A and B are shown apart, each in its own frame.
Chain A
Amino acid sequence: MAERSMSKLSSEPLLEVTDLAKHFDVSKPWLARKIEGAQKQILKAVDGLEFKINQGQTFSLVGESGCGKSTVAKLVVGLHKPSRGVIKFEGRNVADAHSRADSAALRRRWQMIFQDPYASLNPRWRVRDIIAEPIRVFGLVKSRDEQIDKVGALLTQVGLSPVDGEKYPHEFSGGQRQRISIARALSSNPEFLVCDEPTSALDVSVQAQILNLMKDLQKEFGLTYLFISHNLAVVYHLSDKIGVMYLGRLCEVAAAKDLFTRPQHPYTRLLLETIPDLEMTGRERVPVAGEVPNPINPPPGCAFHPRCPFANDRCRSEAPTPTERSGHIVACHAAEEGRLPDATFQAPKQPVAS
C-alpha cells in the first residue's frame, strides 16, 4: 500500500468522462400507452456530462435532488450502463473491458460508499463477511487466516475493533455502520472511491468523524474521490474541484475555493445564497423563487431560465454549451456575453467556536 501512495504525484486524470448521458424510459407499459394514446416518456437523468478527476484529488458534484448527481455515481461504477458517452479510467475506455478478468481487474480499483448506512449492509451477514466479500470476489488472499487478519486490520483502520467482525450490522450505530461500509470499500485496495452522499444520513458530530476519516484515508492511501452531495459546506470542506449540476447537466465546474468566492453561473450563486448564515452576520437572505422543474419535461433552452434573473430570449430557446472562462467552465449565455454582474460571495473569515 505504501508504494501506491508514492506513485500518486502525477496529475494525469484518473477518471475522464466525456459526453456522458443516461436516459431512462419512464413511460407507461406498452398496452397502457396505446390505450391512452400517450407518448413515450424519456427522463434524461444525465445529459452530456464532461469532467476529469486527477489522481489523489477530490471532485465533488453538488446539486438539488433530481439533478442526476447520484446517477453519475452509478454510471461511473458500472451500476448503470451509459446511454451515450465514454468513461475512461486511466486513459482506458471502461466499456472496452469485455472479458470477466479484464472487468474484474478494473472493478477492483474502484469502490463505492453509499448513503444509507441502514440499507448498505446485508442485515443477515456478519460484519466480517460483509467486509471480506470484495476480498473473496477478487481472490486477494490465499488463506482464511490471511483473510481474518486483513479484515481485522481494516476494522482497526476505520476506528472499530477486530472483534466487531463477529457482530451483525444491527448492533452498530449509523456512524459505525458507515465505517463498516468504508472498510468494505477499502478491502480491495482501490484507488478510486465514489461516495454517494455518505454523510447525509448522519448526525453532524458523526458526520465530522466520517469526513475526518475520509480525509485521513485519502492522505494515507492517495485515494481519489468522486464525492456526491447536496451539502455545500461539506463539499467546500472536502473538495479540490466542484461541479454544480442542474437537471442532468453541469452548470459550472471550478476549483473549490474559486467556486465559492467567484461564482459565475446564476444557479451557483443561488445555491450559495442558500447556505445558512452560521456566522450570525445578520445577512438577510433573499430566497430565490421557484423550484426545480420536472426533469421529464425540462424547459427548452437553458433548463435554468425560468428561475434565472438574467434570462433573455436566447436563454429560452438555445441550450448553452460549457465554455471556459477565467478558470471556470460555465454553461451560461449571460456569462458568455458578459451580461452578469460581478458577484463575490462574502465568505466569512474567522472561525467560530474555537
Chain B
Amino acid sequence: MSDNPLGTTRPENLLHRILDSDIFYSFIRSPVTVVSAIVAAIFFFAAAFAPWVAPHNPFDPATLDLMDAFTPPAWEADGTPNFPLGTDDQGRDILSTIIYGSRVSLIVGFSAVLFSMVIGVGLGLLAGYLSGWVETIVMRMADVQLTIPAILVALMIDGVAHILLPIHLRDEMAIYVLILAIGISDWPRYARVTRGATLVERNKEYVSAARVIGVHPVKIMLSHVLPNVMGPVLVLATIGLALAVITEATLSFLGVGVPPTQPSLGTLIRVGNNFLFSGEWWITLFPSLALVTLVLSVNLLGDWLRDALNPKLR
C-alpha cells in the first residue's frame, strides 16, 4: 500500500499530470485555498504590471493636480469615478498608489525571502550534513538570533546601514537596505528547518550509495540532499513572504523603511494615518485593507501547502 496504490497509468503530458496530481486535487477541494490563490494572483499580477494596470501614475508629478487632493472614494458625495478609492493630500489616486505600493512591498518581500532562504538553506545544509563544529557554530548563531525579535534585528541592521551610508545614497539604497535587513532577520528559521530535514536525508541509503562511489560532499548536498529538503523550505518561504511583507510594512510605518517618494503599503498607511482624524479615512484605510488581504491570502496558501505536502495529514 505504501507505494502509490492509485498508480494506474499516468498521463504523460505535463499539464495533465499536474491536473491529475494529488496536490492539485487537494487544492481544488479547498475553496478557501482557491480564493486565496486568486486574490494573491491578482496582487502579483497588478504589482508586476503596475504601469499598465494602474489607472494613474501617482509618481509622475506632471499628472498630479493639487486640486484633486482629498477627493473621497467614488461612492461618496464628492467622489468621482476617475479616482475610485479617492485621492491623498497631493491628489494621487489611492488605487494607483496601492498598486504601486504592493509592487514595492512584494519586491522587498520576495527579495528578502530569497535572500534569507539562500543564507538559511545554505547554512542549514552545511550544518546538517557536516555536523560537528560547523553545526554547533551555525545553530548557536541561529539560537542567539532567535532570542531577539526579528523586527528588532531588522531595525538594528537598518540603523547601522543608515549611519554607514552617505546621506545622498540613503533614499536610493533604502530598498536594498530593507531587503538586507529583513533577509538577515529571518534566516534562522530556514536554517533550522533545512538542518532538521538534512539530518533525516543524510542517513538515507541513497546518500550512502553516493558516498560509496566517492561523490564530493558538496555535490551530494546540492544534487541529492537539497531537492529532498525543499518541500518544507517552500512552505516556510510562502509563510515567510507574508511575514516579510508585514515586517517591511512595520518598518516603513515606523519611518525607517522606504521613503515616501517610492512608497510601499507600509509607507502609505503611515502617511495616511496623519489624516485619519481629520476625516480623510480612505487614505489610510484602503492601503491597510490591501495589506491585510495580501498577507492573509499568502498565509492561507502557505497553510494549505504545508498540509498538502505533509502526507501524514492527508
Contacts and interface: CB of A to CB of B under 8 A. Distances in A.
Nearest to B226: A124
Nearest to A106: B214
A170 B10 CA distance: 12
Contacts of B206: 119-122, 130
* Residue from B10, B206, B211 with most neighbouring chain A CB atoms (10 Å): B206
B134 interface: no
Nearest to A185: B209
B114 to A, nearest CB: 21
Given A119-B204, A122-B206, A122-B228, A78 B212 contact: yes
B214 A107 contact: yes
A170 B228 contact: no
Contacts of B227: 122, 124
Interface string B213-236: 111000000001001100000000
A113 to B, nearest CB: 9
A170 B213 CA distance: 23
A84 B292 CA distance: 63
Contact of B213 (A115, A122, A134, A172): A134
B205 A124 contact: no
Interface residue range, chain A? 20 to 34
Contacts of A108: 213
B209 A120 contact: yes
Contacts of A121: 206
Nearest to B207: A122
Nearest to A120: B205
Contacts of B204: 119-120
A74 B228 CA distance: 23
A116 interface: yes
A112 B209 contact: yes
B209 A184 contact: yes
Contacts of A124: 227-228
A312 interface: no
B78 interface: no
A74 B205 CA distance: 11
Interface stretch (B1-9, B44-52, B146-154, B244-252): B1-9
B38 interface: no
Given A120-B205, A120-B206, A123-B228, A138 B213 contact: yes
B208 interface: yes
A170 B209 contact: no
Given A120-B205, A171-B7, A172-B3, A111 B212 contact: yes
Nearest to A122: B206
B212 A118 contact: no
A138 B212 CA distance: 12
Interface in B1-53: 2-4, 7, 10
B213 A137 contact: yes
A104 B214 contact: yes
Interface string B270-284: 000000000000000
Contacts of A137: 213-215
A121 B213 CA distance: 14
A227 interface: no
A112 B3 contact: no
Nearest to A173: B3
B309 to A, nearest CB: 13
B210 interface: yes
A103 B214 contact: yes
Given A119-B204, A120-B205, A122-B228, A79 B211 contact: yes
A230 B7 CA distance: 33
A114 interface: yes
Interface string B177-214: 00000000000000000000000000011101111111
A111 B213 contact: yes
A107 B3 contact: no
B228 A112 contact: no
A112 B212 contact: yes
A172 B7 CA distance: 10
B214 A114 contact: no
Contacts of A107: 212-214
Interface string A77-109: 111000000000000000000000001100110
A79 B208 contact: yes
Interface string A123-143: 110000010011001100000
Given A110-B212, A111-B212, A114-B208, 5 more contacts: A78-B211, A120-B206, A124-B228, A137-B213, A172-B3
Interface of B: 2-4, 7, 10, 204-206, 208-215, 224, 227-228
Interface of A: 74, 77-79, 103-104, 107-108, 110-112, 114-116, 118-124, 130, 133-134, 137-138, 170-174, 181, 184, 188
10 contacts: A74-B208, A108-B213, A110-B212, A111-B212, A120-B204, A120-B206, A124-B227, A133-B209, A138-B213, A188-B213
By Cβ-Cβ distance, the 3 closest A-B pairs, closest first, are A120-B205, A114-B205, A124-B227
